C-alpha cells in the first residue's frame, strides 16, 4: 500500500481506520483497496455534478472498470466527478482512481475476488438509491415500500462488507467455527452497522429526498416521508425508530459469537472486531434517547473520548470472551 493511499484511507474512513490498522499488513492492504473502491463508488452515486441517470451509468460500469481498466474511460470518469467535494481528501481520492486500480492489480486472486464481491453488492445498493429515490433537487421525498426492502438494503451496504471482513479474517487466522457460519455472523454485524448509519443520517437523507424507513411502517404511525422533515414529528416517529434500534441490537448479538471464534492468540484481530461492535452499540444508545432525531441540527455522534476510552480498556477483554460479552451486553441492554 502506497503512503498516498494509506493517507486517503486514514482521512476518509474515520474510526474504521482504527480497526483496520489492527490487521496484519496483507489483510490491511486488501481492506484498504476494497474500502477505497467502495468509497469511490459512493462518491459517484452522491456527486451533485452529474444527473442521476449519468451516475447510474457509471455505477453500473464500475465493477467492469476495475477488472478491465481502460485509461480513456478512467480519465473521463475522473473529469466528470472531480471538483465538487469540499473535503480535500475525498477530492484527492476522486483524482486517484487509477492508483486504486493499480493497487487492486497487486492483490492475490482470492483477495481480488472478495473485493469484487463487496464492490458488486455496494454498487447494487447504490443503484437502489439512484433508481428508487427522486433526484436530490426534485423537492420530493420517497420512502422504501417495506421492511424487506430496508433489510435488503442493509444487507447490500452493510452485510456484504461484513462478509468481506469475515472472509479477510478467516483467510489470515484459523477461526474456531465453520467458515460459512463465521461469514453469516459477520454479515449480521454489518447489517447492524448499516442501520446505525441510516438512523444517524436520517435528517440529511430526508433533505435529499431519501427515506429508508418503510412507507408501510410510517403509515401505521400516521406519518408520510414528508412529515419527517419536521422535527416536531419526532415523537410520532419514535415507534419506528425504536423498532429498528431493536433490530440493530439483535444483529449486534452475533458479535459475541464472532469474537469468540477468534483465537485468543490474535489480540489485534479481536480488537478490530470488538471496537466497531462496541461503538455501534454506543451510537444506538445515543439514538435511542435522542428526543429530536429528525432535527438536522442535532446530529448524533459518540464523543471522541468514548472512542479512545474504549480503545484504552480493550486490553482488559482481549483474553476473555466472557468479559467482552458482558461489556457488549451491558450496552445492548440500555
Residues 205 and 330 in one domain: yes
Last residue of a domain, one of 132, 160, 194: 132
Residues 177 and 222 in one domain: yes
Last residue of a domain, one of 83, 113, 132: 132
Ranges in the chain, pLDDT < 50? none
Residues 28 and 111 in one domain: yes
Task: Dig out the grid coordinates for 270 from the structure.
Answer: 479481536
pTM: 0.92
pLDDT tens profile 270-299: 998 999 999 999 999 999 999 999 999 988
Output DSSP code: residue 134. Answer: P
Query: CB under 8 Å to 82, separation ≥6 — which residues?
Result: 91, 94, 95
Residues 97 and 190 in one domain: no
Residues 203 and 301 in one domain: yes
Residues 116 and 163 in one domain: no
Q: How many whole angstroms separate alpha carbon 145 and alpha carbon 205?
A: 16
| Helices 3-12 and 88-95, axial angle in degrees (round to 10) | 130
Q: What pLDDT score was predicted for residue 15?
A: 64
Last residue of a domain, one of 101, 132, 163: 132
Q: What are the helix (H) ranges across the chain?
A: 3-12, 15-20, 25-46, 52-67, 71-81, 88-95, 97-105, 109-132, 147-154, 160-170, 179-200, 202-206, 215-220, 234-252, 254-260, 267-289, 304-313, 321-332
Domain that holds residue 19: 1-132
pLDDT tens profile 128-159: 999 999 999 899 999 999 999 999 999 999 99
Q: What pLDDT score was predicted for residue 273?
A: 92
Question: Do the beta carbons of residue 153 and residue 125 sit within 8 Å?
Answer: yes
Picking from 76, 123, 66, the residue whose alpha carbon sits closest to that of residue 100 is 66
Residues 68 and 208 in one domain: no
Residues 160 and 263 in one domain: yes
Query: CB under 8 Å to 97, separation ≥6 — which residues?
Result: 40, 74, 77, 78
Q: How many whole angstroms separate alpha carbon 306 and alpha carbon 239?
A: 28
Using CB atoms within 10 Å of the CB of residue 132, give its burial: 0 to 12 exposed, 13 to 18 middle, 19+ buried. Answer: middle
Using CB atoms within 10 Å of the CB of residue 304, give its burial: 0 to 12 exposed, 13 to 18 middle, 19+ buried. Answer: exposed
Residues 165 and 222 in one domain: yes
- Domains: count for the chain: 2
Query: CB under 8 Å to 129, separation ≥6 — which residues?
Result: 45, 210
Residues 168 and 217 in one domain: yes
Q: What pLDDT score was predicted for residue 86?
A: 64
What CATH number corresponds to the domain at position 73?
1.10.600.10
Residues 153 and 91 in one domain: no
At residue 211, the 3 state secondary structure works out as: strand
Residues 112 and 213 in one domain: no
Q: What pLDDT score was predicted for residue 27?
A: 83
Identify any residues that bridge with 211 across adjacent strands, giving them in sequence order.
143
Amino acid at each position: 500500500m502506497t503512503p498516498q493511499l494509506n493517507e486517503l484511507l486514514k482521512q476518509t474512513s474515520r474510526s474504521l481506520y482504527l480497526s483496520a490498522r489492527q490487521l496484519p499488513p496483507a489483510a490491511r492492504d486488501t481492506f484498504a483497496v476494497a474500502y477505497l473502491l467502495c468509497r469511490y463508488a459512493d462518491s459517484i452515486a452522491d456527486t451533485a455534478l452529474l444527473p442521476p441517470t449519468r451516475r447510474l451509468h457509471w455505477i453500473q460500469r464500475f465493477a467492469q472498470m476495475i477488472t478491465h481498466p481502460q485509461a480513456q474511460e478512467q480519465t473521463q470518469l475522473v473529469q466528470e466527478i472531480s471538483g465538487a467535494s469540499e473535503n480535500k481528501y475525498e477530492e484527492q481520492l476522486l483524482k486517484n482512481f487509477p492508483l486504486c486500480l493499480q493497487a487492486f492489480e497487486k492483490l492475490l486472486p482470492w483477495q481480488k475476488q472478495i473485493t469484487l464481491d463487496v464492490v458488486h453488492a455496494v454498487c447494487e445498493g447504490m443503484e437502489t438509491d439512484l433508481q428508487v429515490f427522486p433526484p436530490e433537487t426534485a423537492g420530493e421525498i420517497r420512502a422504501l415500500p417495506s421492511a424487506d426492502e430496508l433489510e435488503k438494503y442493509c444487507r447490500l451496504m452493510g452485510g456484504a462488507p461484513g462478509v468481506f471482513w469475515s472472509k479477510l479474517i478467516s483467510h489470515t487466522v484459523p477461526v474456531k467455527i465453520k467458515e460459512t457460519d463465521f461469514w453469516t455472523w459477520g454479515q449480521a454485524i454489518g447489517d447492524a452497522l448499516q442501520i446505525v448509519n441510516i438512523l444517524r443520517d436520517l435528517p440529511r437523507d430526508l433533505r435529499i429526498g431519501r427515506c429508508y424507513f418503510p412507507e408501510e411502517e410510517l403509515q401505521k404511525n400516521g406519518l408520510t416521508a414528508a412529515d419527517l422533515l419536521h422535527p416536531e414529528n419526532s415523537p410520532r416517529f419514535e415507534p419506528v425508530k425504536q423498532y429498528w434500534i431493536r433490530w440493530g441490537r439483535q444483529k449486534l448479538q452475533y458479535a459475541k459469537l464472532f469474537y469468540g471464534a477468534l483465537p485468543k492468540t490474535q489480540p489485534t484481530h479481536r480488537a478490530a472486531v470488538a471496537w466497531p461492535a462496541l461503538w455501534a452499540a454506543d451510537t444506538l444508545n445515543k439514538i435511542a434517547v435522542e428526543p429530536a432525531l429528525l432535527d438536522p441540527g442535532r446530529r448524533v455522534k459518540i464523543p471522541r473520548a468514548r472512542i479512545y476510552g474504549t480503545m484504552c480498556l480493550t486490553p482488559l477483554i482481549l483474553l476473555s470472551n466472557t468479559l467482552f460479552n458482558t461489556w457488549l451486553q451491558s450496552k445492548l441492554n440500555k
